[in-house]
Structure 1
Amino acid sequence: MNKWKLYLINNEIKLDSRYYNFLSSMLDFIKDFYDDREETEKDIWYSKNIKGAKLPASGSGHGNYNAVNFTTIPLYYRETVKRYFRTIITKKSWMTCYNTLKYLNYFFKYLYSHKYQDGCIENLNRNDIEKYLYYVSNDRKGKNKTENSKYISFIRTFLEYIQMAQYDKAPKKEVSSLIFQDDIPKRELNKDEVKKAKFIPEPILKQLDNNIMNLDRSQFIPIYILLRETGWRGTDILNLRYDNCLESIWNNKEEKYNYYLCGEITKTGIAQLKIPIRNKVAEMIQKSIDKAKELSTEENNPKKYLFNTYDGKMKGKPLAKQSLLNTIKRLIVQKDIRDANGELYHFRLHSLRHTRAKEYVEQGMGISVIQQILGHQSLQMTVHYATVSENVLYEKWRNTEDLELFKVDTTTNELIEVDISSTEGKNLIRYEYVKKNLDAVRVPFGVCFKASKLPCKQQMNHCLTCASFCTTVENIPEYEEEIEKVKQQIEISNRCGRELWAEKNKQYLNILEKTLERVKEHKLVHKNGKSREDIV
């Protein structure tokens, strides 16, 4: 490259990117063409060459992110880092792997720029880590707290793994004594994240919905409608396949078939998520399926995408999310859709997801049901932006009723007054009293009695083992239904070759079955018992 630059200068040729890009592309081509090693043996791994990499439907995104480059890792530790990445490259999303390398690069750059040498990782001590923490706090001052925490947490995860796996170049001292939990900066508070949730104002939303049929690229109309209908991510909708995205299931209660949208949620590892949709939306999907079947061949749509690109350099990939966004922005200009400040509305695709979550809440849907529909991994993720408008909040508050000491007989559906002298009555009264006064949150299979000021560190499946969780016999049907669903999910995961998902679901199934046994035996299960009354 240096000789090439010198040649251009000597021949009085103006230096610009065209000449650099030409030679760089030629070198990359020659190197890749003649390098027949496995991709994971090389110093640069391209996403397209990694079998099993967890890529979004449209690929690895921008060209700047389609490869993980280990050439910036010090040569002494390069093989160690590559070995670690071989263990995570098919387990974590591509962008998580890409960012992990970014944080490791930052760490190694700090070490080698501060006179540390080869072998420094093996000999790390607490003093070295304290210096690094001080450097990060100053270098990243004023920047996103959640992002800042990753410059420490990802390093700790890496060091812990290579130590547990007994890598030759792992730290000699226990990582837990090098990096403490308190060293990791606190992430942004949930209330701050809620403020960042972008909801589309109702007047703007009505204008978009009323004018969406006027999009200048009609192939994007059904995609917008599905985003509005489901609240799924854009990549989830684009990842739909025409051979399995629509299913009709018999409803015994209504004695008719109901339609469900079926898709794989790659971000949270859900092999097949099914959510109910309206008949009109199902008709629209069926028309898209018929069109996709008519246009698709093994050459132009080998993966059977519902919304596919049939020609050009993007042939065989789904329609681009950015193209949809640009199309809607042109509609906003054309229809002169403006915000409260009189400016053309700044539209973001993910805002449709936030807005749909809020609509679900305002319609009275339970937070755990919303979580399942949106494909969230944890209940806390749903709570972040499942808020309601002030008017709906007032209506809910106005309709609040005082606690009544009655329960429903599930056989006769009649109200029965609770006998407060019995053990069952005392337990029920205490349960209802604490639930009311702690402003408890309804979660799958029960109620969370966590104090409102305490942050939730549990994910959905882990609520069953949380000390703040309470469950009763009224939740037994939920357990039985969930057990059947998890068994189906295990079967699907095994069929799709997703061993990791199958193993996780087996662990979840074991917790469900054991908890169900305890509920049937003890009627009411709550780890903290009466002690929770003390905090009211």
Structure 2
Amino acid sequence: EYIADVDMKETVKQYAYYKLGKMKPQTVRDYINAKLPMFIEYCSLNGIHSFADVTLEDYLNFNLWMKNDKKVAQQTGFMSCHIVEEIIRIGQIKGWDVPTFHLPKAETANQLWNTKKSMKTNKTKPIPEDVFDKILYHAVHDEKDVLTKSGIIIQSQTGLRINEVLSIQEGCVKRTFDGYDYMEVTLGKTEKGEPIIHKVFINELVKDTIKELSDFTEPLRKESGLKELFLCKSAKKKNAINVYSLEHWNDQKLMPFIKRWDIRGNKGELYPLTSHQFRATFVRELIKRKVPIAMIMKQYSHVSIEMTAHYLTLQEEEVKEIYSDMILSPESKIAGLRAKEIKGKLDDLFHGKTEDEIDDVITDLAKTMSFNPLPTGVCLYDFRRGNCTDGDGCFFYNCPNYITEVQFYPILKDELDLLEKEMARLKELGHEREWQKQYIKYKYLKPLVESLEVQLNGKESVG
């Protein structure tokens, strides 16, 4: 409705149709309506009635107008510039009614709005363990706001997205025939595109939390007729009752919680917690609990209605980000035949760089590398080069592509202890051949464990 010119409206419709092949309808609508009105306003003020009438000078002046006259925020300017650029680029390929001038090969929006951050994916880092422990402790023992407490506990224990948590309804907790508790949630982001009801196993803490939340919001459900558990009185409309909004969660629930209990990061600052970090932290905890992470990678798009643990719905990119941060960050403590070489090269790359620049380096490196999860580490072999010639050599820890990290230490230490006991038993029985087989694995595993122990004790040596 905000586009008065017929020709311009037709081009935007064609663009919307193109985007529908890539996003959900609601996302397309929100994307266009949030980012295009600024350009339409500029065209109205300057007598431009069709995309085809736009000149390169108009396009550049539009950006200057946003910067100097409208004084828009950097991100707003970038996104408004980006959508116009995309319509022109795609339109030139598809034959829409757009200008024929050549945009520079590099993304002009990034250059005009002057930041690399627009080009990189927003990396969601897991919450540091000591900070996570404080968050959970205060949520369980001290927090009086039931919605805040419930959201934090459910997210931290299930790895669900906050919009999925906010979707839970009365009666969502069920029990299997063999006595396991689970909850039903609506998953919006699935391979099939349609929201589905997904079943997620829960522990006693989550079960008790949902009961407390259900009791707390029961009067609001009776008054409103709504079934959702995360309900609140509307601040704008008197006596209106709404499901708590996703948009307000980080600002109105999480940050006040962090301030209330004075939870700080390693630099002494109030920890800048966002809800999506609980998901990344959940994966890290799965790694520590020996869950075969290869399952997460292989079945990330799992959308079956069968009973299953929620981590199967994680996106492959999310897991890759967590692994790249684990292996490549300056604080990483790694071991393996190439660990010293990798650490040396990373130190050279990171030298003299700021924290944001280091994040950019890690992001760029992760895009070029292969991370194939193993139960006790990561294989860096790139399978695009063909099948691995070593077969399952990594399970003997003598493959140059095998890297492990301190979070795998408990698993490797247990394996080493069991191996030593088994070798002692075989020695006692005089089974030399079987002992030799175990020794092949032992002679590579022991240095790995020792290297991680050295780093755990605060020394810098890398095996």
Q: Which residue of 2 aligns with 1:225?
A: 153
2:133 to 203, 206, 217: 206
* Native 8 Å contact 1:329 1:347 kept in 2: yes
Q: Deviations over 1:409-452 (max 9, x none)?
A: xxxxxxxxxxxxxxxxxxxxxxxxxxxxx964339xxx99769x
Q: Deviations over 1:339-382 (max 9, x none)?
A: 44444444433433343344344545526617554687852244
Q: Is 1:280–2:237 an aligned residue pair?
A: no
TM-score normalized by structure 2?
0.51
State the structure with bigger RCO (CA 8 A, min sep 6), 1 or 2. Answer: 2
Shift of 1:394: 3.3
Q: Is 1:171–2:97 an aligned residue pair?
A: yes
> Take 1:191 and 1:79, find their aligned partners in 2: how far apart are those partners?
29
- Against the structure 1 CA distance between its residues 299 and 396, is the aligned structure 2 distance closer, same or farther, given a 3 Å change threshold? farther
* Equivalences for residues 39-54 of structure 1 within 5 A: 43=1
> Take 1:184 and 1:469, find their aligned partners in 2: how far apart are those partners?
38
* Native 8 Å contact 1:265 1:272 kept in 2: yes
* Native 8 Å contact 1:197 1:354 kept in 2: yes
Give 3-state SS (helix, strand or coil) of 1:242's partner.
Answer: coil
Shift of 1:288: 5.0
Q: Which residue of 2 aligns with 1:132?
A: 59
- Against the structure 1 CA distance between its residues 285 and 343, is the aligned structure 2 distance closer, same or farther, given a 3 Å change threshold? closer
Shift of 1:110: 5.0
Identity %: 13
> Take 1:225 and 1:270, find their aligned partners in 2: how far apart are those partners?
27
Q: Deviations over 1:51-97 (max 9, x none)?
A: xxxxxxxxxxxxxxxxxxx1xx4545575478569867996475653
Q: Deviations over 1:109-133 (max 9, x none)?
A: 55556x5633x43456xxx358636
> Take 1:140 and 1:385, find their aligned partners in 2: how far apart are those partners?
36
Q: Which residue of 1 aligns with 2:187?
A: 265
Shift of 1:265: 3.4
Q: Which residue of 1 aligns with 2:163?
A: 235
Shift of 1:300: 0.9
- Against the structure 1 CA distance between its residues 85 and 121, is the aligned structure 2 distance closer, same or farther, given a 3 Å change threshold? closer
Give 3-state SS (helix, strand or coil) of 1:349's partner.
Answer: coil
2:36 to 90, 104, 108: 104
* Native 8 Å contact 1:242 1:289 kept in 2: no
The unaligned stretches of length 5 or more in structure 2 are 302-309, 340-367, 374-378, 392-463
TM-score normalized by structure 1?
0.46
Q: Is 1:291–2:215 an aligned residue pair?
A: yes
Q: Which residue of 1 aligns with 2:244?
A: 319
The code of the aligned residue for 2:317 comes to Q
> Take 1:360 and 1:190, find their aligned partners in 2: how far apart are those partners?
31
Shift of 1:208: 2.0
> Take 1:262 and 1:161, find their aligned partners in 2: how far apart are those partners?
43
Q: Is 1:117–2:48 an aligned residue pair?
A: yes
* Native 8 Å contact 1:247 1:260 kept in 2: yes
Give 3-state SS (helix, strand or coil) of 1:309's partner.
Answer: strand
Q: Deviations over 1:162-182 (max 9, x none)?
A: 996x9xxx5178x8x866875
* Native 8 Å contact 1:448 1:470 kept in 2: no
* Native 8 Å contact 1:122 1:172 kept in 2: yes
Q: Which residue of 2 aligns with 1:53?
A: none
2:229 to 295, 306, 313: 306
After TM superposition, the structure 1 stretch with the greater mean CA deviation from structure 2, 257-266 or 309-318, is: 309-318
Give 3-state SS (helix, strand or coil) of 1:171's partner.
Answer: coil
- Against the structure 1 CA distance between its residues 394 and 228, is the aligned structure 2 distance closer, same or farther, given a 3 Å change threshold? same
Q: Is 1:156–2:86 an aligned residue pair?
A: yes
Q: Which residue of 2 aligns with 1:388?
A: 326
The code of the aligned residue for 1:384 comes to E
Q: Which residue of 1 aligns with 2:277?
A: 351
* Native 8 Å contact 2:183 2:202 kept in 1: no
Q: Deviations over 1:251-280 (max 9, x none)?
A: xxxxx4544443223356452263643431
* Native 8 Å contact 1:440 1:449 kept in 2: yes
- Against the structure 1 CA distance between its residues 158 and 289, is the aligned structure 2 distance closer, same or farther, given a 3 Å change threshold? farther
Give 3-state SS (helix, strand or coil) of 1:152's partner.
Answer: helix
* Native 8 Å contact 1:368 1:379 kept in 2: no
Q: Which residue of 2 aligns with 1:485?
A: none
* Native 8 Å contact 1:215 1:328 kept in 2: no
> Take 2:151 and 2:387, find their aligned partners in 1: how far apart are those partners?
41
> Take 1:273 and 1:241, find their aligned partners in 2: how far apart are those partners?
11
Shift of 1:330: 5.0
* Native 8 Å contact 1:103 1:150 kept in 2: yes
> Take 2:312 and 2:81, find their aligned partners in 1: how far apart are those partners?
28
* Native 8 Å contact 1:223 1:237 kept in 2: yes
| RMSD of equivalent CA atoms | 5.4
Shift of 1:229: 1.2
Shift of 1:207: 1.9
Q: Deviations over 1:381-427 (max 9, x none)?
A: 44334533879953564899xxxxxxxxxxxxxxxxxxxxxxxxxxx
* Native 8 Å contact 1:242 1:292 kept in 2: no
The code of the aligned residue for 2:37 comes to N
> Take 1:439 and 1:136, find their aligned partners in 2: how far apart are those partners?
36
> Take 2:206 and 2:380, find their aligned partners in 1: how far apart are those partners?
36
> Take 2:216 and 2:31, find their aligned partners in 1: how far apart are those partners?
36
The code of the aligned residue for 2:51 comes to I
Shift of 1:200: 3.1
Alignment coverage as a number of residue pairs: 330
